Amino acid sequence: MEKTMNKVIITVVGKDTVGIIAKVCTYLAENGANVLDISQTIVSGYFNMMMIVDLAHARKRFGDVSREMDALGEEIGVSIKCQQEEIFEKMHRI
Amino acid sequence: MINIWEVNETNEMIEKENLDVRTITLGISLLDCIDSDLDKLNQKIYNKITTVAKDLVAVGKEIENNYCIPIVNKRISVTPIALVGGAACKCPEDFVTIAKTLDDAAKKVGVNFIGGYSALVSKGMTTADENLIRSIPRALAATDFVCSSVNVGSTKTGINMDAVKLMGEIVKETAECTKELDSLGCAKLVIFCNAPDDNPFMAGAFHGVTEADAIINVGVSGPGVVKTALSKVRGENFEVLCETIKKTAFKVTRVGQLVAKEASKKLGIPFGIIDLSLAPTPAIGDSVADILCEIGLEHAGAPGTTAALALLNDQVKKGGIMASSYVGGLSGAFIPVSEDQGMINAVEAGALTLEKLEAMTCVCSVGLDMIAIPGSTKATTISGIIADEMAIGMINQKTTAVRLIPVIGKDVGEIVEFGGLLGYAPIMPVNQFSCDAFVNRGGRIPAPIHSFKN
């Protein structure tokens, strides 16, 4: 049976700067994570991006991706958070 | 597909409004550990707890990381120890050895608390029950994480007034035994009427005899989330108010349900219940009293408080029920004083008294909770307060509880600091008139009639 999706929500919040999306997407591409959706907005003057990513065929496990994204965020100067999708799905869908 | 606004709403609840899962509590039956040899019994208890719960803390942390939701406490509840230790323990000191075993097991697996140092004596006390109760002061002084509870009444059986009298003395003695720590032992001792078998919250959690061998129960929280949601509907009518609470409670509870199911799957232990609760902490913005203020009161304790709390409690249940497949435990709004900054403020402002708190317990879970009173309060007076609260539970077919802390060496106007989630509290005055003759009668209050409700 084909491996089902492993959807993860990545949120990036911080001061807007050049190359945030590029750096995050580069990391995801290098690690075989498929981006399903991206939306971006400004909340209280801060850059706010949400990505829905499928890790089913990724080369790394969720825990490692989460840690490395966190480190990448520190490098760029933004906060990057990885959460499995269920928490949003359960809270906002009946 | 989930959109950015929904993601932001959830994350704001977690980051700014203190949304958390208050506890994953693993209930463990110790009935199969029973042995007439005390050493063997202690060894079996230690082995069973450290085996069944060995992955609890790690799994809790994994779930926290997967969803970025704090799970504040990982706890264990066990079969009431009076039942487990009855065959082996011939005196209160024997029971204290079990308390120490529970404490050692809790420390080994890394949980925050272990509950179930308990006796169920709603109708009568066995010798084992009485020995356990008499051991409580020393057991709580000799351990760090053990929590104790005693069920002294129920709607079906009435109130065991002998036990109520004894518990007044035990609360005092526990306070004395831990007086160097501002009588902290009493913060780990609850007296119940209609105690539920599946409550995940401390200090009153125990694993009832009607339960399976092991079970996962989860307590949710989120007063800050409800308060924030209500701040957006200021001035609206009660329909809007109640709908808002329901919707918010639904969302909060869904997170608890998710965490419970995940914990159950990862630990290979069945899911029991979600306790739909608004459990405050001393953190700013994590207060049930603040919700009451948001509903329209200047302070908790003002006229209207009981009605506001009644509607809050009911809407939380209505919203939460649909969000979870199984609901149980205490389920409702908690009103501990020391653990809720808004309640502390209300006491300090003179808005909230012990008598008003008693009225509030008629319409919410659970009871007179984390209330500091003068250390000089007589044991019979404490028994009288316990009897009043038990009567409310018995007649209204609900769980009620008492967790009073007579702080030895301190008096009204002084502050007692418990630290951490237990918070701090101003010492509240207690009615000084005597109830000695009432408490000293002995015997039982008969079970109430279940018809002619007025």
More confident residue, A44 or B427: B427
Q: Write the pLDDT tens digit of every residue in B11-32.
A: 999 998 989 999 999 999 999 9
Residues of A within 8 A of B67 (CB-CB) are 83-84, 86-87
Q: Rounded to whole angstroms, how far apart are CA atoms B404 and B259?
A: 32
Contact assignment for B257 to A90 by CB distance below 8 Å: yes
Q: Reply yes or no on whether the pLDDT at B340 is more than 90.
A: yes
Is residue B30 within 8 A of residue B76, CB to CB? The reply is: no
Q: Reply yes or no on whether the pLDDT at B344 is more than 60.
A: yes
Looking at residue B282, its amino acid is P
Q: Write the pLDDT tens digit of every residue in B220-263.
A: 988 999 999 999 999 999 999 999 999 999 999 999 999 999 99
Q: Could you tell me the two tokens for B408?
A: 């030895």
Q: Does A48 reach chain B within 8 Å, measured CB to CB? A: yes
Q: Write the pLDDT tens digit of every residue in B353-398.
A: 999 999 999 999 889 999 999 999 999 999 999 999 999 999 999 9
| Test mutation, A66, A88, A94, chain B, max B CBs within 10 A | A88
* pLDDT confidence of residue B197: 94
Nearest to A85 among B2, B254, B255 (CB): B2
Residues of B within 8 A of A66 (CB-CB) are 65
Q: E strands, B111-162, where?
A: 113-120, 146-154, 158-160
CA distances from B244 to B218, B297, B454 (A): 23, 18, 31
Domains of chain B with CATH codes:
27-193 (3.20.70.20), 218-441 (3.20.70.20)
A48 φ/ψ sector (left φ>0, alpha ψ -120 to 50, else beta):
beta
Which value does ipTM take for this structure?
0.90
Q: Could you tell me the two tokens for A4?
A: 């089902």
Contact assignment for A88 to B2 by CB distance below 8 Å: yes
Contact assignment for B68 to A81 by CB distance below 8 Å: yes
pLDDT band at A17 (very low <50, low <70, confident <90, very high): confident
* pLDDT confidence of residue B221: 87
Domains of chain A with CATH codes:
7-91 (3.30.70.260)
Is residue B339 within 8 A of residue B425, CB to CB? The reply is: no
Q: Give the residue-averaged pLDDT of B212-225.
A: 94
pLDDT band at B421 (very low <50, low <70, confident <90, very high): confident
Q: Does A19 reach chain B within 8 Å, measured CB to CB? A: no
Residues of B within 8 A of A52 (CB-CB) are 1-2
- What's the whole-number average pLDDT of chain B? 95
Q: Write the pLDDT tens digit of every residue in B146-174.
A: 999 999 999 999 999 999 999 999 999 99
* pLDDT confidence of residue B453: 76
Q: Give the residue-averaged pLDDT of A14-37.
A: 93
Residue A61 DSSP SS3: coil
Residue in the block written with tokens 């719960």: B53
Q: Rounded to whole angstroms, how far apart are CA atoms B101 and B143?
A: 9
- Number of Cβ pairs < 8 A linking chain A and chain B: 59
pTM value is 0.93
Could you give the angle at the alpha carbon of B152 between the alpha carbons of B146 and B158, nearest 5°? Answer: 160
Q: Give the residue-averaged pLDDT of B65-87.
A: 96
Could you give the angle at the alpha carbon of B217 between the alpha carbons of B102 and B387, nearest 5°? Answer: 70
Residue in the block written with tokens 């356990």: B132
Residues of A within 8 A of B254 (CB-CB) are 90-91
Nearest-CA distance from B261 to chain A in Å?
A: 11
* pLDDT confidence of residue A1: 46
Residues of B within 8 A of A62 (CB-CB) are 66
Q: Write the pLDDT tens digit of every residue in A46-93.
A: 899 999 999 999 999 999 999 999 999 999 999 999 999 999 999 999
Q: Give the residue-averaged pLDDT of B61-89.
A: 96
Task: Give percent of chain B above pLDDT 70.
Answer: 100
Contact assignment for B4 to A48 by CB distance below 8 Å: yes
Q: Rounded to whole angstroms, how far apart are CA atoms B173 and B156?
A: 30
CA distances from B389 to A39, B261, B369 (A): 54, 35, 11
More confident residue, B280 or A44: B280
Nearest to B2 among A41, A66, A89 (CB): A89
CA distances from B159 to B126, B164, B274, B360 (A): 16, 8, 28, 21
Give the residue among B52, B54, B58, B57 at the shortest CA–CA distance from B29.
Answer: B52
